[in-house]
Amino acid sequence: MNEKKSDYEIEMVECSQCLKEIPASEAKNAEGTDYVVHFCGLECYDKWIKDRPEEKK
Ligand SMILES: [Zn+2]
């Protein structure tokens, strides 16, 4: 009766800048976009913002 429950089921997302996999709970999300983008940290977030051309229409 010792049913194994996986406590390791963490949702992983990919950093949109360096493509590293990070837990969704730790990811930074960009706001103001039609789609959701995740980042492993503010560094990548900053880079992504700077690399990003004017918002697409
Ligand atoms: Zn990153």
Digit-coded pLDDT (tens) for 2-55:
676 666 788 999 999 999 999 999 999 887 667 789 999 999 999 998 987 776
Q: Is pLDDT larger for residue 57 or for residue 1?
A: 1
pLDDT of residue 57: 55
* Alpha helices for the chain (secondary structure H): 42-51
Res 30: pLDDT: 85
27 part of a folded domain: yes
Q: Is residue 5 in some structural domain?
A: no
pTM here is 0.69
Q: Is 23 inside any structural domain?
A: yes
How far does the centroid of ligand 1 lie from the alpha carbon of residue 1, in Å? 42
Q: Which CA distances in Å does 27 have to 1, 2, 11, 47? A: 36, 33, 11, 15
4 CA to centre of ligand 1 in angstroms? 33
Are 9 and 25 spatial neighbours (Cβ–Cβ below 8 Å)? no
Residues with CB under 5 A from ligand 1 (ion): 15, 17-18, 20, 40, 44
How far is the centre of ligand 1, averaged over its atoms, from the C-alpha of 53 (Å)?
A: 19
Please report whether residue 7 resides in a domain: no
pLDDT of 45: 92
Q: Does residue 15 contact residue 44 with C-beta atoms inside 8 Å? A: yes
pLDDT value, residue 46: 93
Residue 25's domain spans which residues? 12-51
**Residue 57 located in a structural domain:** no
Domain count, the chain: 1
